[in-house]
Structure 1
């Protein structure tokens, strides 16, 4: 019996603004084509999407789930998926990207930290799409956040934060009611699709600590050789290069938002020497840390891939 072909999975890295870490993608350019991608993709932040027009299909967790205008989608980070419109249509979307753990850490009690994002293996694909008729409050809150961020009236950040917190709590409530344990076959298939997710989670939270390739391979229960190959197939880069790009991006945030010395920042993000930090920073950013800080733009520059490099948009 022939083996089932494994999907190709792309990693899409979105950089958040420093002082108000919520990214909004909205407007006429965010139309999804009706051509089904051969690749799945996943993000480094939680995604909330609002379908404004037309219809289509979202492929997620081995399911083909239909969507239509008025639906709100809720995709935790590191969950592979793809979306395409119905034939001869181009669905229009708005997207919100943010990290609940970073954004809401002061709004939740410490005992609630484990609930920042649902268990990837327990979520059913069907529960990632919420329609307007059954969940009118979800739709109202999501569209209200988008409008606040678009219009930028006085105190819009405070208003958007409160609305997004309310929206996120509503989403957690829904998923806490719909969280049966995934069957073993589903868990096996998902972990095969994204076996490296424990490493992505670990690097996101522990990039500042010393990390070895053997330790990362152990997190995935793979040999070092197999882990290197699997990681590169999915991420398009080596594990330690991904770690360093994570460190450099965090360094960019600190260079822009603080007056800390370059030496102090290099140590805080995990580099063992200022020389290795300078070399890595210059290779990824095209400038020295000192030059970059002097000419930093209004938004943090990303050390990783831009969303504009990816296909599937009209």
Structure 2
């Protein structure tokens, strides 16, 4: 898989049709979906294997045929949950596609509150759940088929199907509004995004816990608890994971020596790098390189 930035800057579709369907295959030991976010909405369906997806502060175990909904701006990531290969399809689309004019009734009454996370909507969607869940999954399959095959009228049918999917999503949670939990409010999440972007951009440099905490004006102890509550990992584990991922790309795509790669990604001790890498991928760096180049 190609390296993914935390905040995606790719364009999903084009301004006239702001939607894109993706198919992803992943082997054991690879990162299924790096931690990231984007301004678009997303429905993702697992098509093979089993995987754990983290959306905001919650984790969801998915089996083939199940899906998740990711709202705009939500941090999300995925990892394989077994020793078997894993695959998924995803449709990523801009909310503007759902209403005729940005400030029409549909936007004001449904889409904008949805983006603000004021509707209670499910994240995990299963075929064995409510009737609306099964219908939503059937519509999602149609969206995948129409766009991957460029079926006749697919732009028109896709817009209609996405509108129906969002309507079913809102109806599953009920029409009641909610206050967004403090830890999930944009101002709080933005602090974590700032930290993660800093790590993504500076992983090759020495990074101290006190420096990360200072970026968001948290004490070190509170920062560690809060970071883990959002990402599911401690700051050190997350940092080492980023470094291991970058090392994996260098092992596959360059002929650099392992010691050189260790230094390039921020590890000053070769033995520590090897231990972290093996814990992350299940192979030593040299074993990983041989495996990827067969």
Shorter-normalised TM range: 0.5 to 0.7
* Aligned 8 A contact 1:49 1:96 in 2: yes
State how far apart, in whole Å, the 2-side matches of 1:151 and 1:39 are.
27
Displacement, 1:31?
3.1
What's the TM-score, normalizing by structure 1? 0.52
Bigger RCO of structures 1 and 2 (CA < 8 A, at least 6 apart): 1
Question: Aligned pair in 2 of structure 1 residues 122, 232: CA closer, same or farther (>3 Å)?
Answer: same
Partner residue of 2:17 out of 10, 16, 20: 20
Q: What are the Cα deviations for residues 165-209 of structure 1, in whole angstroms up to 9, with x where unaligned?
A: 21122123224458643443x336x74332498xxxxxxxxxxxx
SS at match of 2:10: coil
Paired with 1:170 and 1:38, the residues of 2 have a C-alpha distance of 26
d(CA) in 1 for partners of 2:138, 2:77? 25
Q: Deviations over 1:149-178 (max 9, x none)?
A: 122232222222222221122123224458
| Distance 1:178-1:89 versus aligned 2 partners, 3 A rule | farther
Q: 3-state DSSP class of the match of 2:6?
A: strand
Cα distance 1:103–1:235, how it changes in 2: closer, same or farther (>3 A)? farther
Matches within 5 A, 1:85-96: 85-96=80-91
Stretches of structure 1 lacking an aligned partner (at least 5 in a row):
1-8, 198-228, 238-311
Q: 2:189 aligns with which of 188, 193, 206?
A: 193
- Secondary structure of residue in 2 paired with 1:169: helix
CA distance in 1, matches of 2:30, 2:119: 26
Could you tell me how far 1:22 is from its partner in structure 2? 1.3
The equivalences for 1:55-204 within 5 A come to: 55-100=50-95, 102-106=96-100, 110-114=104-108, 115-116=110-111, 118=114, 127-134=122-129, 135-177=133-175, 180-184=178-182, 186-187=183-184, 191-195=187-191
For the pair 1:30 / 2:25, whether they are aligned, the reply is yes
Check the 8 A contact 1:56/1:68 in 2, yes or no.
Answer: yes
Secondary structure in 2 aligned to 1:13?
coil
1:233 counterpart residue number: 198
Residue in structure 2 matching 1:43, options 25, 28, 38:
38
Q: Distance in 2 between matches of 1:103 and 1:95?
A: 16
CA distance in 1, matches of 2:45, 2:98: 21
Structure 2 runs not aligned, ≥5 long: 203-280, 282-291
Aligned length in residues? 194
Q: Distance in 1 between matches of 2:119 and 2:80?
A: 23
Query: Cα RMSD (Å) of the superposition?
Result: 3.6
1:266 alignment partner in structure 2? none
Structure 2 equivalent of residue 209 of structure 1: none
SS for the counterpart of 1:194 is helix
Contact 2:22 2:91 in 1 (8 A): yes
Change (3 A) 1:39 1:129: same
Q: Structure 1 133/32 Cα, relative in aligned 2: closer, same or farther at 3 Å?
A: farther
